[in-house]
Amino acid sequence: MNSPLTHFDASGRAHMVDVGAKDESHRVARAAGLIRMLPATFELVAQGRAAKGDVLGVARIAAIQGAKRTAELIPLCHPLPLTRVTVDFELDAAACCVRCEAQVETRGRTGVEMEALAAVQIGLLTVYDMLKAADRGMVIDGVRVLEKRGGKSGDWQAP
């Protein structure tokens, strides 16, 4: 079986990819997504009046923790020594949404796209958790990798 899906062996069974022979390099990934909410819920965040406290401050810490714990959540991910995780939130009043962007870096043998995606998802899930009493209909949307740098496959940027 000759497949571009590296998480399967020649017999089609799932396995953790052997990265031992790969060269170490500086690897960076950026991911983003958003959570849409009702205007009144958005105002709770914008004015810092959410009942559970500092929504974006807690979500930022959760997102960083999510990046650090990715290998525990996604079975075939390698545990990586992350060297940097940044998480930024942007309020968009016109769209009644909060955008989240994470950048994750390491010096290693495999990329950090999954860690960046996990950071965004966990950050947005935390926003949901902290605001769900006000708005159970919030929607997490558009989570994707924006960019990756480093490694044998080279640099990539979302169109």
Give residue-wise pLDDT tens across range 126-141: 999 999 999 999 999 9
Cα separation of 129 and 77, whole Å?
26
Per-residue pLDDT tens over the stretch 97-124? 999 999 999 999 898 999 999 999 999 9
Helices and strands per DSSP (H, E), number in the chain = 4, 5
Strand 97-108 relative to strand 82-92, pairing: antiparallel
Tell me: is residue 115 an annotated ligand-binding position: yes
Nearest to 102 by CA among 74, 78, 132, 82: 82
Tell me: is residue 100 an annotated ligand-binding position: no
Q: Mean pLDDT throughout 129-157?
A: 95
Residue 21: how many other CB atoms lie within 10 Å: 6
Quick check: 2 pLDDT over 60?
no
- Does the active-site annotation cover 92? no
Residue 35 binned pLDDT confidence (cut-offs 50, 70, 90): very high
Q: Which of 9, 129, 141, 155 is catalytic?
A: 129
Tell me: is residue 76 an annotated ligand-binding position: yes
pTM: 0.89
Sign of CA dihedral 116, 119, 124, 125: positive
Residue 47: how many other CB atoms lie within 10 Å: 8
Strand 97-108 relative to strand 25-36, pairing: antiparallel
